């Protein structure tokens, strides 16, 4: 019973850690073309995500 509980607890802890790590997105460099998904400013308490090929502008967000 204790071994099963330990495995379940470890699995749960690992899944929470992976979920938190997936939400860590680096910030974009303003005025530079984006090479990987990044956060460009905030709107409504959520980061604006730019995708490769876009440009980050703090006032306009991501533009092509």
What does the pLDDT profile of the chain (64 residues) look like in tens digits?
777 867 666 665 665 554 555 567 888 988 889 999 998 877 776 778 899 999 998 777 888 8
Query: From CA 57, how far away is CA 38, in angstroms rounded?
Result: 12
Domain of 37 in residue numbering reads as 2-63
Which pTM does this prediction carry?
0.55
**Quick check: 47 and 40 in contact, CB under 8 A?**
yes
| Number of structural domains in the chain | 1
Task: Judge contact between 52 and 44, C-beta under 8 A.
Answer: no
């Amino acid at each position: 019973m204790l071994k099963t509980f330990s495995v379940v607890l470890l699995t749960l802890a690992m899944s929470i850690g992976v979920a938190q790590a997936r939400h860590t997105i680096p910030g974009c460099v303003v005025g530079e073309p984006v090479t990987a998904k990044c956060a460009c400013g905030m709107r409504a308490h959520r980061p604006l995500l730019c995708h490769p090929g876009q440009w980050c502008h703090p006032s306009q967000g991501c533009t092509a």
